[in-house]
A and B are shown apart, each in its own frame.
Chain A
């Protein structure tokens, strides 16, 4: 009893962690299911059919490819633009800085339906046909602010003395930036890029407003499939994404740990 009381926070925390991970566990387990009907809700029997044939459902791998392509381009563009903006607001004082900050904050405070529908009205008014270009424009837009915020917080936590030291050692501003500032900010840029990719890859609501029947992203495919029955291949891809994310995030942690150790 005393042990329980002493570890109450930990027990509660781990229960919450269980709640957080339960759906992922279900996704993994049910990727080995062989459902009787179209819906993969109830456990029937063990099978690796979906794993041996991940593209077995028509359209699934095309949508995955489109999502990966859009995700990569959106990540690249939003990370570059966002990092530039982050340096501007994080390192400089200029006229209009607070309104700039407001403009960066507002898209994050806008519900996805509002952002998606407002873009749709713009595209309609301008006579632009929806498709992968409009999806890309939307994705870069909603990733941008998150990149700025992530990179900005990294810039804010830097020790300015390191750059002064570089200047004292006769580095010109360009050298100081490339050899001191940029490597120090790099983890923030990487985190921002990773966040941007996950936001882009995962978005359904905004994408659906700006897509056409010929530009079906993976979330749109899942949504469409969920109306008629859920192919097991969805679980396979969900499992691979989860494991890839685990490896990616864990290796990121390892690298930053090792760096911290060598720095200390």
Chain B
């Protein structure tokens, strides 16, 4: 990848490239990359170092390579890690199921309404997500119409049966947390899917129909494989923030739905056990990097970066 292409094809590929301008990319990169190194890479190292230090806020910290912090932190908080991954995974699958029909409809069927629908998908994204999450408290509240409807149709019984709720209210439950996560990250799934499906050549779908494929066969053999890059992009953009999120579990859940982000937040800012919090942070980052790496490899799309 290295080596100046400009030498080979001076000014041919683009009017901007000249041999003498070879240092231009570095000048362009310098301020942005310096920011990323100083405020992203260095803090990550600082986090790693903090997790291996012992001490207290008052007496200061010393680097002691105390790996026991990791063992203690994991043995105390592994259920929170597990819960975060299960919640985020469930929400990701649900957003995919919800986003796909909308993205497909917008990209292929909406005609002149396309831009209008796009505006409606993007606009909520610009409204504070805390306020929108608080609105779910209103929607799911015990005395509200949604809860009443769920009770009269025995949806609450069903939710209790699958342990998503523990009584006949909807709020402060696993159900509410997953519902909030799904809602909050839905635009992150819709937009990559839409961008991908918009480029789908509709004549391929027609060709499948001409060859007597049923709509279901057309979907699985033509549309779905072609949309995989969008699916991979969308699931990553949903899963990663959802796994670290604690707004939904805090505002819509109960003490049994605490996610790992909430633990890290309170260990840092309330308990002020910086080493444990840093260790938890580091492990969360590690888990996500491993999951993403495995997933991207299995999905076979390297074109993300």
Contact = CB atoms under 8 A, between A and B. Distances in A.
Interface in A91-141: 91-98, 100-115, 117-122, 124-125, 137-138, 140-141
Nearest to A246: B123
A208 B265 contact: yes
Interface in A141-160: 141, 144-145, 148, 160
Contact of A23 (B135, B245, B247): B135
A181 B40 contact: no
A164 B304 contact: no
A13 interface: yes
B207 interface: no
Contact of B183 (A23, A111, A242, A248): A23
Nearest to A220: B130
Interface stretch (B70-78, B112-120, B153-161): B112-120
B305 interface: yes
A215 interface: no
User: How many A residues touch the partner, as a band?
Assistant: 35 or more
Interface in A225-244: 226, 230, 234-235, 237-238, 241-242, 244
B119 A246 contact: yes
B134 A103 contact: no
A219 interface: yes
Contacts of A97: 1-2
B129 A202 contact: yes
Q: Classify the interface of chain A: helix, strand, loop or mixed.
A: helix
Contacts, number: 300
A81 interface: yes
B47 A121 contact: yes
Contacts of B141: 41-42
Interface string B1-20: 11111100001111111100
Given A17-B121, A241-B126, A226 B14 contact: no
Contacts of B241: 111-112
Interface in B74-123: 98-99, 101-106, 109-110, 115, 117-123
A55 interface: no
B172 interface: no
A110 B285 contact: yes
Interface string B127-151: 1111111111111010110000000
Nearest to A226: B134
A30 B132 CA distance: 12
Contact of A85 (B13, B32, B274): B32
A208 B269 contact: yes
B102 A12 contact: yes
A181 B15 CA distance: 10
Interface string A38-70: 001110000000000000000000000000000
A144 B106 CA distance: 29
A91 B99 CA distance: 33
Contacts of A245: 122-123, 125-127
Nearest to A82: B32
A85 B115 CA distance: 30
A52 to B, nearest CB: 20
Given A107-B36, A141-B39, A91 B16 contact: yes
Given A10-B110, A13-B103, A85-B29, 12 more contacts: A9-B109, A16-B101, A23-B133, A42-B143, A103-B41, A113-B284, A114-B47, A138-B39, A144-B35, A144-B36, A218-B128, A222-B131
27 contacts: A9-B104, A13-B106, A20-B121, A20-B186, A23-B133, A23-B136, A26-B135, A27-B131, A42-B143, A82-B32, A87-B28, A89-B25, A95-B2, A96-B2, A103-B37, A108-B240, A109-B288, A112-B245, A113-B244, A115-B40, A120-B268, A121-B47, A122-B43, A125-B50, A173-B15, A246-B123, A248-B126
User: What 3 A-B pairs come out closest when comparing CB atoms?
Assistant: A111-B244, A245-B126, A13-B105
